[in-house]
Amino acid sequence: MEIMLTQELSKIYKKVPEGQCSGCARCCHESVGASFAEAQVIYKDLKNMPEKKREALVDALLEYYFDVYQLRKKCPFLNRENRCEIYYSRPLNCRIYGHWNKKDYNDNLNRLDIQNREIAQILSEEYGYKVKGNYLDFSIEYCNSFKGKILSKSERNELYDALIVLDSKMFVSRGIKLAYEDKGIVEHLVDKLLSKEKIFEIKMSKKLSSRMRKRLKNIAKLRIGVI
- What gap in Å lies between CA 225 and CA 227, rounded to an integer? 6
Phi, psi of 164 (to 5 degrees): -65, -40
Q: What is the pLDDT of residues 159-184, one digit of tens each?
A: 999 999 999 888 888 777 666 566 89
pLDDT tens per residue across span 65-89? 999 999 989 999 999 999 999 999 9
Q: Show Cβ contacts of residue 150 under 8 Å, excluding neighbours closer than 6 positions.
A: 99, 100, 101
Distance CA 65, CA 192 (A): 13
Angle, helix 153-174 to helix 2-13, in steps of 10 degrees: 170
Pairing of strands 33-34, 183-184: antiparallel
| Percent of the chain's residues with pLDDT above 90 | 79
Task: Kindly indicate the confidence band of residue 115, based on its pLDDT and cuts at 50, 70 and 90.
Answer: very high
Question: Given a cut of 80, is residue 96 above it in pLDDT?
Answer: yes
pLDDT tens-digit map of 183-197: 899 999 999 999 888
Q: Name the CA dihedral angle for 43, 201, 164, 29, rounded to a multiple of 10 degrees.
A: -60
